[in-house]
Structure 1
Amino acid sequence: MPEPVRQPPPPGDGASSLGRAALAQLVTKASDGLCIIDAQRHFVYANPAACHMLDRPLHELRGTDFLAGIPESERETAKVRYTAQLDGMADSYSGQIRTSDGTVREIVYSNFAMTIDEKPHGIAMFRDVTAPRGAARTAAVLAQTAAQLVGTATTHEILAGIARHAYEGTRAVHAGIAVMGADHRLAFGGFCGHNGSYFGTGCPGWASLAERPPQDMVAAMTAGTITTGSVPGKAIVLPDARAVWQGDPVMAEVAAVTGDGWQVAVCLPLAWANRVIGLLGVCLPAGVAGPSEAELAFCTALADQAAVAVINARLTAEAGRAAATLERTRLARDLHDSVSQALFSMTMHARAAELTLARIDAVGTEELTQSIADLADLARGSLAQMRALIFELRPESMGEEGLIGALHLKAAALAAGEQTPIRVTGPDQLPERDRATEEQLYRIASEALYNVIQHAGAACAFVDVTIDQRARRVTVTVTDDGVGFDPATAGGQGSGLVTMANCAEAIGADLEITSGCGSGTVVAVSMALADIAARSPGA
């Protein structure tokens, strides 16, 4: 008998059911988002990946306008594209979506139209590319900053550039960087906002911040959560930063110049040698709860680069100082081995000649005796001055002699050369020691003594170093009985007044100059012993 003819399975049976199940599983488990939207722009369906990217479950999305999840700046373009999509135009493009918490994600779309239940619908498939694009931007920014580090840009300019990257690469309304210098004063700064980039003294609020210790600024900016000199921690997010800054006298002017439109601040510590030396601050627009993970990672990388820029500047400065120190040491050694020894020999020969003339008691040698005596005095004065110069050239001298010993040497050199008596009084050592601070105090006293010799016409001068144990302050005073001058009209040019003022400012000391025509001059510089202790290397 012939074999019976087998009929194919009816449609809708077995295989097609398996295909629909596989398709549903594929859509559900896909890592890319898929949405179905009706002609009125309402969500009909969104797979789990799309719900995750939009940060809303399907039952909340269904029936809502998809434009609500598009940043306002892109909505008009999205409307035009969707109209063209329903007309049958398939398209692929990049755009952005905004989640319920305000986070913006970068998306790559593929769109086309489909008829469902005899009605046109838009199908959107999209992928979140925020992380890879953010990483690419970070890499580009870091490469640009690295190029600046080896270029000719100043540290201020580099920090302003980093602040600009923080402003442009996030939702920031403003971004700024402030760094404390080695002298515990505001040293570097960069800022960027809608009005452009600024650096150094041009930064908004710089003048008010520069008047205060940076540790006060950092504490005020972070509501006390970050302190300078502490071990750096994680970034701090202050949800009500604008209100906090407005109510703080340290930050009130900064809050005023940054204007409205922001509320949250993200503060990231800048560190060197595992100690906080500054901050990168990013102000986010009102309505944003905080930075996204991508924004926080981006700003953290920028803060690290800002710290590298500052460290590079400090190490470059230290290398320059080290080179200068080596050169000064070489000069001091050469002067000691040649000129100083020659002057000492001249002194001995002049003294020998004096003794010889006195022994032979020759008649008519008075002028020769006087000339030799003058030569002896000149040689002794030059030798004293040379020893003082060698002392100033040797970097370790201040550590060995201390401030009082250095002033004794300076006074002896000037007195021997100019025949002006200079008396130095004070304790053998200061209660608190810091070589850099003592060097600045020494420079101020030296400038004052030079003014006595060159301008005052004084009969004598006094240098007094006093310690006020009750007030815990040290004061160095230089007094002369010379012709005096009017400080209001001196202008500081050619008389060392500018140098003295700069030295005092460098260590945070108070400088006071009292003088008047015909009444002599008093130069007094004072500072707290606690400030000297804080500046010492072991602090």
Structure 2
Amino acid sequence: MTRHGWESALDGLPTGVALVGDDGTIRWINRAGAAIMGGTRRELIGVRAPFRLASGPTAYPGPPREPGEDICVWSGPRALRRLAYTEGTGVRPGVDGTLVAFRDITEQQQQHRRVAALARTAASMASSSSLEEVLGAMAAEVQLSSDVAGTQIMTFAPGGDRLQVMGSAGFADVAPFFDLLMASRDRGADLATLRSMGERRQCVLPERRARMLADPAWQPLHAYVSQLDWEDFVSTPLLSRGKPLGALNVYLATGHRATPVILDFLSSMAEQAALAVDYATLIHEERSAVRREERKRLARDLHDSVVQHVFSIGMQAKALSGIARRLNDPFAQRVDSVAEEVTDLVEAVQRDLRGVVLALQPSVSAKLGLRPALDALAEGIERRHDVSVDLVIDRLIEDDTKSLVFSEDIYHIISEALHNAVKHAAPTTVRVDARLDRERHLVRIDVVDDGRGVPPDAAEHSGFGLVSMRDRAGRWGGSVAVTSVEDNAGTRVRAELPVPYADAGQWHEEAT
């Protein structure tokens, strides 16, 4: 076969083939090989080949190698590739050089790394009880890919429905991102995250960075997204039983595109993240159910044992008072004084126990509804403590917040604040004002009394009640603050709880 003949035959192969001279340079290359190496034949002929061969300037040192594929890296003007190659013998007498057959294994190597990343993610899910730690580890695994400039995993924390960044890699500061994202949404920006969740499909946005920087609606996020060198954006929803739990957002590095391989990898990682979120949610729900049952049990035990024992003590104190009337002074006066003191203590303990039993019932607002439950709470406090309770409850709170757990937390925060007021501040009036701030997507609760005010060291001696209120607000990303009313004429307890969204579909409807 003439040289022209074998060149024509090799030119039709889908595998790269090159003729490497004794000086280590490429003498000839077929069309597939030129495409793999990212150049034209004219550009590549005469260029030093990346292959290390059995003889010549690129020979391996040491003993002869075993036959089979070797691996090398090609760094050309327009391509960085990992190549697997095998070498043959001279083409024919009179033609110097070695034929090398090679193929591109860049994607294959990346796929191997991604499979390893999935395995490490599964291991972290099994060994860690913290959802934030698991999703942080997953974001770090995605970030190891050479295609990726930045990674975010956004989801709902267990027990809450407020979307937040739970895992991130590549970005310097995570904290301000969500507020900046919401500010951009309020200016009319198109949020691909909400779209991917609402439509339950992977969204790929080419040249996203340039489009964001050119759009004034994205101005709040311009500085944030400019800290990375990226071009395209991919948002993959985290789905569990068809329900969106969040999204895996990836900012692809400049020069890289969303190939089928990386899209499959991101879908696999999103599936793993959804499993982690689903598992954490189930654990949270199970613990919440256990806590509710435990609260009910404690309420029953208190009512059936402690409350009855206290009642018996009160009856004994009244009997002791009757006995005192049959005694002579000074014993009669002394015994009657003790009986009266015990009776007063019993009545105080009974009031406190009734409040504790009421607070331990987690289903009050579930059975009655939030407003009727609060009306019943206020009526009971007024009857037992001779305090006027003024309730101002925005009806939109019940209309717009459908989460039973959220409503129960609102009820218990108000209940705890009311009981603290009548127990510690000796007020004549307590005003409860709960309103829905639709612009900020939160419920603001103010419980204000006209009692003694906040002592200077209140923060240092905050009791379990305040801790409980802060725990309940904290699970929704909210806060509780206790301050004095002007001129120390009373105390204000202010709680702010971000409103939960029923599902990502509602987010999507609001965004569009």
Q: TM-score, normalised by structure 1?
A: 0.70
1:422 corresponds, among 381, 387, 391, to 387
1:205 aligns with 2:176: no
Alignment of 1:36-115 (within 5 A): 36-37=19-20, 41-42=25-26, 44-46=28-30, 50=33, 53=36, 61-65=40-44, 78-79=49-50, 81=52, 85=56, 92-96=69-73, 106-112=82-88, 114=90
Q: Distance in 2 between matches of 1:493 and 1:257?
A: 44
Question: Is residue 451–residue 490 contact of structure 2 (8 Å, CA) maintained in 1?
Answer: yes
Select 2:493's aligned residue among 504, 510, 523.
Answer: 523
The equivalent of 1:329 in structure 2 is 296
Which residue of the other structure, out of 404, 418, 421, is the alignment partner of 1:452? 421
SS at match of 1:395: coil
Question: Does the aligned pair in 2 maintain the 1:480–1:521 contact within 8 Å?
Answer: yes
Aligned letter for 2:388? R
Q: Deviations over 1:223-250 (max 9, x none)?
A: 4464375242024233232551575134
Q: Higher RCO, 1 or 2 (CA under 8 Å, sep at least 6)?
A: 2
- Counterpart secondary structure, 1:249: helix
Shift, 1:54, TM fit: 5.5
Residue 287 of structure 2 is matched in structure 1 by 320
Shift of 1:151: 0.9
2:134 is the alignment partner of 1:145: no
Shifted more, 312-321 versus 360-369: the winner is: 360-369
SS of match in other structure, 1:120: coil
The gaps in structure 2 that reach 5 residues or longer are 507-512
Whether the 8 Å contact between 1:44 and 1:63 is mirrored in structure 2 is: no
Shift of 1:128: 4.2
2:153 — aligned with what? 177
Q: RMSD between aligned alpha carbons?
A: 5.0
For residue 205 of structure 1, what is the amino acid of its counterpart?
D
In structure 1, what is the equivalent of residue 166 of structure 2? 189
Distance change >3 Å, CA 503–CA 212, structure 1 → 2: farther
More moved, 23-32 vs 428-437: 23-32
Q: CA 1:475/1:299 → structure 2, altered by over 3 Å: closer, same or farther? A: closer
Per the alignment, residue 481 of structure 1 pairs with: 450
Equivalent residue letter for 1:64: E
Asked whether 1:395 is paired with 2:372, we answer no
Sort the Cα spacing of 1:467 and 1:241 in 2 relative to 1 into closer, same or farther, 3 A: closer
SS of the equivalent of 1:206 reads coil
Task: Tell me whether 1:299 sits opposite 2:276 in the alignment.
Answer: no
Matched residue SS, 1:34: strand
Structure 2 SS opposite 1:81: coil
Preserved contact between residue 198 and residue 504 of structure 2 (Cα < 8 Å): no
Identity of aligned residues (%): 23
Q: Which amino acid aligns with 2:17?
A: L
Alignment check: 8 A CA contact 1:110 1:126 kept: yes
- Listed one character per residue, the Cα deviations across residues 409-433 of structure 1 (whole Å, up to 9, x for unaligned) are 76688788xx853322337995516
Q: How high is the TM-score relative to the length of structure 2? A: 0.73
User: 1:350/1:498 Cα in 2 relative to 1: closer, same or farther (>3 Å)?
Assistant: closer
What is the Cα deviation at residue 97 of structure 1? 5.4
Q: 1:460 to 1:295 in 2, by over 3 A?
A: same
1:309 pairs, out of 276, 282, 285, with 276
Instruction: Report if the CA contact (8 A) 1:185-1:210 is conserved.
Output: no
Larger Rg: 1
Check whether the contact 1:36–1:44 (CA below 8 A) recurs between aligned residues.
Answer: yes
Cα 1:225–1:298 shift into 2, 3 Å: closer
Distance 1:109 1:422 in 2: 88
Q: How many residues align?
A: 486
Q: 1:342 to 1:479 in 2, by over 3 A?
A: same
User: Secondary structure of 1:382's partner?
Assistant: helix
Q: Distance in 1 between matches of 2:504 and 2:342?
A: 46
8 Å Cα contact 1:398-1:438 kept in structure 2: yes
